[in-house]
Amino acid sequence: MSYKSGVVGIVGLPNAGKSTLVNALVGEKVSIVTSKPQTTRKRVTGIVSEDNLQAILTDAPGFLKSEAGLNGFLSDEAKSVIEDVESLIFVISLSGGSLQALEEHLKLVRAAGKPVFCLLNKLDEAKPTFQKEVETLLDESGLEFLRGSLKAKTGRNEVRAVILNWLSKILPETGAPLYDPEIYTTQNMRDLAEEVIREAAFERLHQEIPFGLGVKIVKFDESSESLTRIYAEVWVNRDSHKGIVVGAGASSLKAIGIRARARLEEFVGTKVFLDLRVKVKKNWIKNDHMLQELGYVLNSK
Ligand SMILES: Nc1nc2c(ncn2[C@@H]2O[C@H](COP(=O)(O)OP(=O)(O)OP(=O)(O)O)[C@@H](O)[C@H]2O)c(=O)[nH]1
Ligand SMILES: [Mg+2]
């Protein structure tokens, strides 16, 4: 019987809807989604298993040009995802943005010489002039594209069906799935906990904080069958950010903890005790040693 599988990179500029697409294709929440750009940092794997195919999706950070610090890591990670996969889905937001940044990213994507499918996302918020420019660019590049919106369920289902059909054509024949079809992510619980806490914090905080916010899981204690104890540090880049994350009477930190704990309980399947502490780690986003401590280091380095 024919069975196809392969590794597919989900790439694009920050905030285009890449992680939303991964979650829609997998049918489970594997990657965190927020309204703030540069949400995804380390690549996340989501696995879609159908009767005839399995796609191992690699959700990349948004593409940006930078050489140092956390931005440098994001930039390198986005580029290395393009190298490490067999085919690519390029997600573009029609809600506007820089055509030049898009062109630069497109150049890298095309240079990889791999099958590419483009999703023109956020059709519900499309800016007509920008949409025209993007479509001309893709037509000139000879790239296949779909216009769609991942905002509502019907849109997600339509996009999912078209992309699965594309995958069924381009994925290589493997005879059997590469991963057990029951598995939908390769992420471990510690990494997942870090992402869930970061998402809860991003949702709660002002625009300027999230980029300088990191989460370190200090201890993940599963020794009790009915209660998982998670001890985590929330790192901020500046003294002045600590008070904002904690909030008056610790209201903000408590709200972050409540939201994160509810999601963590769904994932781990037990009650969760969550201990969150805010630490000021001055300029950690520019410090190689501290970046490494949070796992922001390329596998190849
Ligand atoms: N209006 C609208 N919003 C969308 C659509 N798809 C995704 N979003 C929203 O866009 C924002 C960014 O979505 P993400 O999936 O986190 O985007 P991303 O490309 O993974 O972003 P980074 O990881 O930061 O690069 C979130 O607030 C989503 O809910 C869409 O089709 N329409
Ligand atoms: Mg993302």
Q: What is the pLDDT of residues 111-157, one digit of tens each?
A: 999 999 999 999 999 999 999 999 999 999 999 999 999 999 999 99
Residue 299: pLDDT band with limits 50, 70, 90? low
Q: How far, in Å, from the CA of 139 to the mean position of ligand 2? A: 26
pLDDT at 297: 87
The closest-lying atom of ligand 1 relative to the alpha carbon of residue 35 is 27
The closest-lying atom of ligand 1 relative to the alpha carbon of residue 122 is 31
Q: What is the pLDDT of residues 197-228, one digit of tens each?
A: 999 999 999 787 889 999 999 999 999 999 99
Determine if ligand 1 sits within 6 Å of the CB of residue 61.
Answer: yes
Contacts of 204 (CB under 8 A, 6+ apart): 252, 255, 256, 259
Q: How far, in Å, from the CA of 11 to the mean position of ligand 2? A: 9
Instruction: Among 10-14, 228-232, 266-270, name the one with the lowest average pLDDT.
Output: 266-270
Determine if ligand 1 sits within 6 Å of the CB of residue 286.
Answer: no
Both tokens assigned to 234: 């929330």
pLDDT at 102: 97
Q: How far, in Å, from the CA of 248 to the mean position of ligand 2? A: 30
Closest-lying ligand to the alpha carbon of 36? 1
Q: Identify which of 22, 29, 39 to mutate to test ligand 1's pocket (most ligand atoms within 8 A of the CB).
A: 39
Q: What is the pLDDT of residues 1-23, one digit of tens each?
A: 799 999 999 999 999 999 999 99
DSSP strands (E only) in the chain: 4-12, 44-49, 53-59, 87-93, 116-121, 144-147, 213-221, 227-236, 271-280
3-state secondary structure 139-202: HHHCCEEEECCCCCHHHHHHHHHHHHHHHHHHCCECCCCCCCCCCCECCCHHHHHHHHHHHHHH
Domains, in order of start, for the chain: 4-170 (3.40.50.300), 189-293 (3.30.300.20)
pLDDT at 298: 76
The closest-lying atom of ligand 1 relative to the alpha carbon of residue 38 is 24
Closest-CA residue, ligand 1 atom 4, reads 151
Q: What is the pLDDT of residues 160-199, one digit of tens each?
A: 999 999 999 999 999 999 999 999 999 999 999 999 999 9
Determine if ligand 1 sits within 6 Å of the CB of residue 121.
Answer: yes
Q: What is the mean pLDDT of residues 259-283?
A: 96
pLDDT averaged over every residue in the chain: 95
Closest-CA residue, ligand 1 atom 7, reads 17
Bridge partners, 233 (sequence order): 216, 277
Q: What is the pLDDT of residues 43-95, one digit of tens each?
A: 999 999 999 999 999 999 999 999 899 999 999 999 999 999 999 999 999 99
Q: What is the pLDDT of residues 87-101, one digit of tens each?
A: 999 999 999 999 999
Tell me the HSE value of 77 on the side-chain side, using a 13 A CA sphere: 26
Residue 300 has pLDDT above 60, yes or no: no
Q: What is the pLDDT of residues 272-284, one digit of tens each?
A: 999 999 999 999 9
What is the value of pTM for the model shown?
0.96
